[in-house]
Structure 1
């Protein structure tokens, strides 16, 4: 399992629309995400900077192939046609990236014992 995250800007005038869309994500979109071996997927909004932060756990063996399959799905394409205009690609995003991938730099060590719970 790989923990992964990405970030993108959100247009201030599109915040309500983005919230409305994500309050009722289409079942076919959610199914395609699961079929692409993604689990524990969440999107967070940081205001007033209007940044969207997405986190998920990838349980597959070929991330590029799973993302290509997701991108090729007609329902995903329809969904992205609605959500993409709400987003602002970051200047630091790589070529071909809508959302900018992030590097994990810390993870809580599960073996460290909390002195307060001893």
Structure 2
């Protein structure tokens, strides 16, 4: 399986907003990702 990574920066002080928005997955997202060929994905928040 090929693993692809994407990194981005978020503005300082917006970490909690990032966590809040990623805590609850949209109901249709898992099926959409599977249809797009994504079998496994992970999100990481890397500290400074």
With the shorter chain as reference, the TM-score category is 0.7 to 0.9
Unaligned runs of 5+ in 1: 49-118
Q: TM-score, normalised by structure 2?
A: 0.78
Between Structure 1 and Structure 2, whose CA radius of gyration is higher?
A: 1
Tell me how large the CA RMSD over aligned residues is. 1.3
SS in 2 for 1:40: coil
- Structure with more strand by fraction: 1
Between 1 and 2, higher relative CO (CA 8 Å, sep ≥ 6) is seen in 1
Deviations 1:42-92 (A, max 9, x none): 0111112xxxxxxxxxxxxxxxxxxxxxxxxxxxxxxxxxxxxxxxxxxxx
SS in 1 for 2:44: strand
User: C-alpha distance in 2, partners of 1:40/1:11?
Assistant: 27
SS in 2 for 1:38: coil
Aligned length: 48
Unaligned runs of 5+ in 2: none
Following TM superposition, the consecutive aligned residue runs of length 4 or more in structure 1 with deviations greater than 4 angstroms are none
- Structure with more helix by fraction: 1
User: C-alpha distance in 2, partners of 1:13/1:31?
Assistant: 32
Q: Which residue of 2 aligns with 1:24?
A: 24
